[in-house]
Amino acid sequence: MRSIRDLTLSGRKLLLRADFNVPLEAGRVSDATRIEATLPTIRHAIESGARVICASHLGKPKGKRKPELSLAPVAVELARLLGKPARFADDCVGPEIEKLAERLTPGEVLLLENLRFHAGEEANDLEFARRFAALGDVYVNDAFGAAHRAHASVAAAAGLFAEKGAGLLLEKEVRELSRLLDPEHPFAAIFGGAKISGKIDTLRALSRRADILLIGGGLANHFVRALGLPVGRSLLEEDKVPLAREILDFCKREGKIIALPSDFVVAKSPDDAAGAKTVGIAKIPADAMALDVGQKTLEQFERLLEPAKTILWNGPMGVFEKPPFDRGTKALALLLAESDAVTVVGGGESVAAVREAGVAEKFTHVSTGGGASLEFLSGASLPGIEALS
């Protein structure tokens, strides 16, 4: 895989697939983190004299033009962050857009409209990919967060370019996450959160490589069930319980450390802050939900993490959006921030929690790709990365 740094860009039309899938509020970008993450790549392109054509998806318009999912607000924000104009094209393919691209002068930036306004994008349609690819001379993918999807702008289109490479963000993600494919041991993986499908498969794959597994968040309920204990009205995907059982058995057989929370903070619902109380792992009441890990668990996790040389964290320990159920997640963020180990955090909400705690800079790597980083860490090859090789 080549880097954007290895490509000749001067005077050429650079088609740059970025991840500008940002939250919008009242027609404005409400969180520009993803735009900021790709600025180094765009600045490099500008300084190299490229004519920069940026493309991204936003939300799920399902092949239809949805005004509320237009990338127009992103062009405004991009221009503000770059401190120079960013033009906006109201489509991402077609003769009119080709003309706009052709007229760009070196260092100028054009942002295309939402790729997913065309059904061909998600279908990885070759004809759509051809029309999209016609816009550029050189192709760069910086959208690590979309690299696990075989969509036209990351897969089929990339295949049509002779000259292509990875943007600085994608390159960094691959470099940092690759360290976890061959980690310095002891390697600890901490998993939590609420997206059980997908996550638990990654956990299974990682259990082969990790020495220490710590389970919290909604994911932990599945392991509690696997032990035959009650979870009350807690989040549970019943069909994932056998997989939790399998992971427990595997770790036992292989002599790996796998720790479940020894205590939980429970309540009637996430809005029932007043009713919050701490109970042991076997004591989740029938009418309650486990919403955070307890203090004993945090102390136990801290002890178990002490020898770790590499630590991966994915998924909050509790419903951290609703105090007091944010304590476990915050405490873990602060604990990892102080660790001397290589520390990597991935997953949309986990990263948000780490930022909220104000300790993102203290981690070795904060991954911008949720699903993509999980798939990468499972050892799968990602279509968007394959297509660059």
Residues in contact with ligand ADP by CB under 6 A are 192-195, 199, 217-218, 235, 290-291, 314-316, 318-319, 321, 347-350, 370
Identify which of residues 198 and 323 has a Cβ nearer to Mg ion in the complex: 198
The single-letter DSSP state of residue 193 is S
Closest to Mg ion by CB, 1 or 194 = 194
Q: Which residues contact Mg ion (rule: CB under 5 A)?
A: 348-349
Question: 18 vs 312, which CB is nearer to ligand ADP?
Answer: 312
Q: How far is the CB of 180 from ligand ADP (least distance, A)?
A: 16
**290 binds, options Mg ion, ligand ADP, none, Cβ within 5 to 8 A by partner type:** ligand ADP
CA distance 332 to 358: 13
Q: Which residues are catalytic?
A: 34, 195, 348, 371
Q: Six-digit token pair at 49? A: 């004299």
Smallest distance, ligand ADP to C-beta of residue 238, A: 15
Burial of 62 (0-12, 13-18, 19+ CB in 10 A): exposed
Give min distance, CB of 120 to ligand ADP, in A. 29
User: Which of ligand ADP, Mg ion, none does residue 350 bind (CB under 5 to 8 Å by kind)?
Assistant: ligand ADP
Binding at 291: pick from ligand ADP, Mg ion, none (beta carbon under 5-8 Å per type): ligand ADP
In whole angstroms, the minimum distance from the beta carbon of 216 to Mg ion comes to: 15
Give the DSSP per-residue string, 67-91. Answer: GGG-SHHHHHHHHHHHTS--EE-S-
Please choose, from the candidates 85, 96, 92, 100, the residue with its C-alpha nearest in 3D space to the C-alpha of residue 70: 92
Report the C-alpha gap between 308 and 304 in whole angstroms. Answer: 8
Helical packing angle, 348-356 and 327-338, nearest 10°: 80
Which of Mg ion, ligand ADP, none does 371 bind, CB closer than 5 to 8 A by kind? none
Measured from the CB atom, the residue of 167 and 346 that comes closer to Mg ion is 346
Indicate the residue whose CB is closest to Mg ion. 348
Q: Within a 13 Å sphere around the CA of 137, how many CA atoms are in the beta-carbon half? A: 13
CB of 283 to ligand ADP, least distance (A): 15
Identify the CA nearest to 11 among candidates 163, 161, 138, 159.
Answer: 138
